[in-house]
Amino acid sequence: MKNKFNLFIIVIFLSFCFIIFYKGLNTSNNYIPKVNEKKNIPTFKAKEFYSNNYINSEKIFEENSYYIVNIWASWCVPCRKEHPLLIGLSKNKSVKLIGLNYRDNLNNAKKFINELGNPYSKILIDSDGVLSVEFGAYGVPETFLIDKDKNIIKKFVGPINEEILEEIKTIIK
Amino acid sequence: MKILKILSIIFLIIGLSPLKSDEKNETLKNKILKNVRCLICQGQSVYDSESDFALSIKLIVDKKINKGLSEDQVYEFLRKKYGDWIIYDPKFNKNTYILWLLPILLFLFGGAIIYKKILKKNNEKFL
């Protein structure tokens, strides 16, 4: 009776270990952040891309409109891929696009915009990446959708695609 | 002469105190960075990494410490931005309670088995 009980315990324990490891094999070990949590936009002061003047976040997000903050860089290949979609989105009047130029060479960034077009109503310089951390980003490209109450309601990690674009359009309708 | 000596000691103390505070901030900064996970690296802390993300986190932690934020306040700031995963030492909450309680439960369970065995051995001795 005792041996049977011990065997039962061992089987249960081994099954438990098997399930844990099996689940672990199927889980990605890359960190996927919580992207759909409502967060307030950070308050900050940043340099403007063209004028080189400092501007406050209150001034940037002053209009009663949806905003999209897109983190990009000229050295980022996926940014090039998503750029035409951003150009298309910039024609939508219910949303304003703010670009955050991440750890970039200013001349290369200007070349990038001249070559591919400017979808942004404002571009801010984030030369040391601190501003992106304030937004909770950890790479490029990354896109944040901000509602009229100035809350970050969506975060898209990686380049924007048609599916994401449709999702954004549905929200801002 | 004596006054001169006292004055030079005072100046030396005043002169060295900012250095000491810088050293203290650097130690605190390193302690925090060693406990912060680099989210885009494989198994590296921000302290060990030279990725763009790690460099930005290093800068922001430095800024927060210089602003006078405590260690816990810096962790809280990072937690708010990136969630619990960014800190190596997780907080006790509904997602981590198994992690914290399982070792204690296993310890108690093991202790109970050992205690039972010893008790049984003692009883056998007396019989």
Q: Which residue of B has its CA nearest to A33?
A: B82
Q: What value does the mean pLDDT take over residues B57-85?
A: 92
Residue of B nearest to A130 (CA): B56
Answer yes or no: are the C-beta atoms of A138 and A60 closer than 8 Å. Answer: no
The whole-angstrom distance between B4's CA and the closest CA on chain A is: 47
Q: Give tens-digit pLDDT for A76-116.
A: 999 999 999 999 999 998 999 999 999 999 999 999 999 99
B41 and A CB contact within 8 Å? no
CATH homologous superfamily of A39-172 equals Glutaredoxin (3.40.30.10)
Q: By percentage, how much of chain A surpasses pLDDT 70?
A: 93
| CB of B120 less than 8 A from some CB of A | no
pLDDT, position B71: 93
DSSP-based three-state secondary structure for B87: strand
Predicted ipTM?
Answer: 0.76
Contact B42 A29 (CB under 8 A): yes
Cα(B86)–Cα(B127) distance, rounded to whole angstroms?
A: 58
What is the per-residue pLDDT for A168?
93
Are B47 and B30 in contact, with CB atoms under 8 Å apart? yes
Residue A21's pLDDT is 86
